[in-house]
Structures are given as structure tokens and as C-alpha cells.
Amino acid sequence: MTDTLELRHWIDGEKVDAERPSEGLNPSDTREIVARRPEGGEAEVNAAVAAAKAAFPAWAGASPEVRSDVLDRAGTLLMERREAIGTLLSREEGKTLAEGIGETVRAGRILKYFAGEALRLHGQNLASVRPGVEVQTRREAVGVFGLITPWNFPIAIPAWKAAPALAFGNTVVLKPAGPTPATAEALVAVLHEAGLPKGVLNMVVGRGNVGQALVDHPDVDGLSFTGSQGVGAGVAAGAAARQARVQLEMGGKNPLIVLDDADLDRAVAIALDGSFFATGQRCTASSRLIVQDGIHDRFVAALAERLRGLKVGPALDPATNIGPAVSEAQMETSYRYIEIARGEGGRVVAGGDRPQLETPGWYVQPTLIAETAAGMRINSEEVFGPVASTIRVKSYEEALEIANGVEFGLSAGIVTGSLKHARDFQRRAKAGMTMVNLPTAGVDYHVPFGGTKKSSYGPREQGFAAVEFFTWTKTAYTAL
Ligand code: UN1
């Protein structure tokens, strides 16, 4: 397991060689170099955008069956190679092998879903108010999309942005996250193997300057970004300045409310999954556990007990439950927030210390901090690690107010046996996704995904909603 990949850009159907100044280390064992990576710049972005622009007319004009077949074949290839690609993903990103394989299959399913969508270009027939006139709406491909993707779902998110872009006839330049380009390259390679024509999907590996070059490029017609709120705001401002379309998915500080009438075991299992699986590195993670007084102490004790039983370890070790953080910086962010929470008066009831492992890696013990208050930094700022805090509340109303009281609004959950509270929560939670008796994280691939407030901007991603962003509407009049 010590092969080092030599990464290249992927422009106009060719792998383009470049110097590789950057090394991607395995977060589970930092002695291992997973990939040597080029650092692209404006020249590579210009070449990639030119290739995507040149490829657009033929791809948009092809039979939808051509696009559908490519996506379907690539989906099959990903699923067939789930072990190999899932292993690469886990070596590069650090999530457990089960999670890496699961994500690879999810990417395959996304491609297959959009293989179907390619054949379903939506449109409407409308009656004009004028006699003898018909009106139709048509959905047309937009052009070149720049996709800027995060490291935490290094194959699923490139797939869920690229698949609808390609299905509806657009061409793409992908800029994968700095830490995870090798996994993104596996997706790009599989799509080419499945018959994607050259220039339709390009990839430029590098840092933030690559993303910025895409944002500023006059021939990039739309930008889809998933990442932090600060970077997202810059992407949107740059896109708006030159009237490019833009779609952003950003942070979360997702609440999970546990009411007194919840089943304790179920509530603990939901919190465990939502807060800590995938090392808590999900924008949908439940980082604020808002727990009613009557169940509070039992819930905190039971969850802390389960956390102490989890094994933190190398991603590929079958005994591991929680893999490492993706990077040293991400690991240090978790520890910094644990200290901030302690300083604010929080009580660490599980984790908190640096685990001592045989292999050198960026490990964080899953950490639960009890007795925190709503206004604290630990309850306002996204940590993006296996760290959650509990807030004690007296009533459902108080819980709801706290749940809604942050600047993010991606996913919000409640564990309750009460239909009344569940339905009320679905109506009043200020979040793009509400989860009743389910973790806030872990979403289906064929339904709309997105949030409110500072979590999202622009049309929804995924499922039937994706057509909104990746096509434009033409209104066509005919007098008979
Ligand atoms: C999930 O919870 O299954 O970056 C998906 C993220 C989100 C995707 C979460 N855009 O974490």
C-alpha cells in the first residue's frame, strides 16, 4: 500500500505533465506519500477552459443517449472498482475503508441517476393568452462550468456536480480540493474510459489560485462551489461581477434536538452517526446536541460511553471506527476548538486528549463537550471534526429557538416520539433539510440538497433540482 501516484492535469482528453512541487501524505500514516501533485495556474486554466469551450457545441448537440450511455458506463465502472478506488480515497482523505467504498458506490449511483436525467430534459407547454399562440419552455445547456470541490467527499461531490453538468450537455473544468486530487482523478479517468469525448471534462490540480482563475475567466459560464463560507462569498462576488451563474454549498452548525420522549438508544445511535462518523468532517454533521432536561444526563452518559468504545485508527485497518483528520491543520482546528470550549466553561466528557497510536497520523479522539451554552463559540463556529457539544434545555420551544439561532441553516434534526413536535419542527426549522429520527448527515443522492442562510446560495444541487442550475430556460412562442 505504499505506491505513490504521479498526478497530472487532465486537459482536452490528455494527461498533461507538469512539475510536482507538492506531496500528499496519507493522514493515517504520514510517512507515506499518496501522490505527488502539480500546482496549476492561469495557463492550465486557460487551456482547460478553451478545450471545454471547443467541446461544448458537439457535446450539447449530441443525442441525449450518448451522454446517458457515458454516465451509465462510468457509474458501472466505479461500482466495479469500489475496492480499489475506495482504498485510494481512504488513503488520501482518511475516512475508513467502509466509508471510502461507500462513497465510491454513491458516486457510481449519482452517475447512473443522471444517466436517466439526460433523457428527461424538462420543459412545459403553456397556453398563451393570445388565441392561436402556443408557448413552450425549453431547457438548454449553458456552456462551460467551473466546479470547485472539497476534500471531505473527494469523489461523491465531484460526481454530484459533474454528472448533472454533463447530463444536460455542458462541459466542465474541475478543480479538486488541494488534499484530494488523486481520488478526483479516478473519477475523471473512469469517465474518459467510459467514452467521454475529449475536452468535455478537464481537471486542473492546484491551490486557490486555480479556483480564482476559474471564477475570473470570461468563458466560464457557471461556477458550482462546495467549501467554506469565506471562500464561497468570494466566489459569488467574482461570479456576480461578470454575471456568471453561481451555486454555493458551505458550512453548517447543524442542531440535533433530543426531546424527553425520545428512545434513548435511538437518540444515541443517531447522534453518534451524525456527529462523529466520517470523522465529523461533513458540512451536515450534527455539532450541536440540544437535549431536554429529563433525558439529558442519561443521554450524555450513554453517548460518552459509546464514544469511549470507538477505535480511532488508520483508515484501512478493519478495526477502525474513526479515521484521522484530513490534514494537520484540520486536526489542530479540532484541538483548538476543544480548548476554546473548555475555556468557555464546557466539560469534556469523552475524548479531548491526543490519542497515542503506533502510526504517525492526524488523529483526533471523538470528543463530547457537555454543559455548553448557546452563545458560545463552540456553538456558533463550524469545527469540521469529530467534536460535538451538548446544550441543556427545558422545553421544545427553547430547543427550537436555539436550533435556529445560528447563521447557518443546512440540516437540522430532532429525535422524538411526538408527531406533533416532529411536524412542527419540519415547519419551523430554518434549515434546508430537516431530519426526524435520522442523523443530520447522510443524504440521498436523488433528492434536492442545500440549505438556508449562510449555508447555501443559488439553486439546489442533486436530483431533479439540478436541472435548474445546469440549464437555462428558453421561452419559445409559436403562432399557428
Ligand atoms: C452527506 O451528509 O451525506 O460537504 C453529504 C459536505 C456536504 C455533503 C454531505 N456537501 O459535507
**Each residue's pLDDT tens digit, 264-310:** 999 999 999 999 999 999 999 999 999 999 999 999 999 999 999 99
Task: Report if residue 441 sits inside a domain.
Answer: no
The answer to whether residue 6 scores a pLDDT higher than 60 is yes
Q: Do 258 and 237 share a structural domain?
A: no
Separation CA 98–CA 86 (nearest Å): 8
Task: Report if residue 446 sits inside a domain.
Answer: no
pLDDT band at 79 (very low <50, low <70, confident <90, very high): very high
* pLDDT value of residue 241: 97
- Under a CB-based contact definition with an 8 Å cutoff, are residues 413 and 254 in contact? yes
Task: Report if residue 244 sits inside a domain.
Answer: yes
Q: Is 45 exposed, middle or buried (0-12, 13-18, 19+ CB in 10 A)?
A: buried
Q: Do 334 and 359 share a structural domain?
A: yes
* pLDDT value of residue 17: 87
Q: 56 CA distance to ligand 1 centroid (A)?
A: 29
CATH of the domain at 240: 3.40.605.10
The answer to whether residue 73 scores a pLDDT higher than 80 is yes
Separation CA 198–CA 193 (nearest Å): 11
Q: For residue 7, which amino acid is it?
A: L
Task: Cell numbers for 452, please give them.
Answer: 438556508
- Under a CB-based contact definition with an 8 Å cutoff, are residues 185 and 7 in contact? yes
Q: Do 291 and 169 share a structural domain?
A: no
CATH of the domain at 305: 3.40.309.10
Q: Do 177 and 92 share a structural domain?
A: yes
Q: Do 401 and 424 share a structural domain?
A: yes
Q: Do 429 and 316 share a structural domain?
A: yes
User: How many Cβ atoms sit within 10 Å of the Cβ of residue 345?
Assistant: 12
Each residue of 372-382: pLDDT tens digit? 999 999 999 99
**Residue appearing with cell numbers 436523488:** 446
* pLDDT value of residue 480: 82
Average pLDDT over residues 453-468: 96
169 alpha carbon, distance to own chain's centre: 23
Average pLDDT over residues 117-142: 94
Average pLDDT over residues 351-379: 96
282 within ligand 1 shell (Cβ under 6 A): yes
Q: Which of 249, 382, 461, 468 is catalytic?
A: 249
The answer to whether residue 121 scores a pLDDT higher than 80 is no
Task: Report if residue 448 sits inside a domain.
Answer: no
Please provide the average confidence, as pLDDT, over all residues in the chain. Answer: 97
Q: Do 121 and 69 share a structural domain?
A: yes
Q: 389 CA distance to ligand 1 centroid (A)?
A: 20
What percent of the chain clears pLDDT 70, i.e. is strictly above it? 100
Task: Report if residue 442 sits inside a domain.
Answer: no
Task: Report if residue 449 sits inside a domain.
Answer: no
Separation CA 246–CA 459 (nearest Å): 8
0.85 exceeded by the pTM? yes
Pocket test for ligand 1, best of 152, 276, 457 (most atoms within 8 A of CB): 152
Q: Do 196 and 106 share a structural domain?
A: yes
Q: For residue 386, which amino acid is it?
A: P
Each residue of 224-274: pLDDT tens digit? 999 999 999 999 999 999 999 999 999 999 999 999 999 999 999 999 999
Domains identified in the chain, total number = 2
**Residue appearing with cell numbers 481520488:** 183
* pLDDT value of residue 382: 96
Minimum-distance ligand 1 atom for the alpha carbon of 443: 3
Q: Do 272 and 246 share a structural domain?
A: no
The answer to whether residue 385 scores a pLDDT higher than 60 is yes
Least confident residue range of 10-19, 275-284, 418-427 = 10-19
Task: Report if residue 158 sits inside a domain.
Answer: yes
Separation CA 418–CA 259 (nearest Å): 9
Average pLDDT over residues 376-402: 98
Specify whether 65 is catalytic: no
Q: Do 304 and 223 share a structural domain?
A: no
* pLDDT value of residue 122: 82
Minimum-distance ligand 1 atom for the alpha carbon of 285: 2
* pLDDT value of residue 2: 67
Average pLDDT over residues 350-359: 94
pLDDT band at 1 (very low <50, low <70, confident <90, very high): low
* pLDDT value of residue 116: 97
Q: Do 425 and 284 share a structural domain?
A: yes
Give me the domain span that covers residue 328. Answer: 254-436
Task: Report if residue 412 sits inside a domain.
Answer: yes
Q: Do 111 and 81 share a structural domain?
A: yes
Q: Is 2 exposed, middle or buried (0-12, 13-18, 19+ CB in 10 A)?
A: exposed
Average pLDDT over residues 99-120: 97
User: How many Cβ atoms sit within 10 Å of the Cβ of residue 53?
Assistant: 18
441 within ligand 1 shell (Cβ under 6 A): yes
269 alpha carbon, distance to own chain's centre: 22
405 alpha carbon, distance to own chain's centre: 23
The answer to whether residue 395 scores a pLDDT higher than 80 is yes
97 within ligand 1 shell (Cβ under 6 A): no
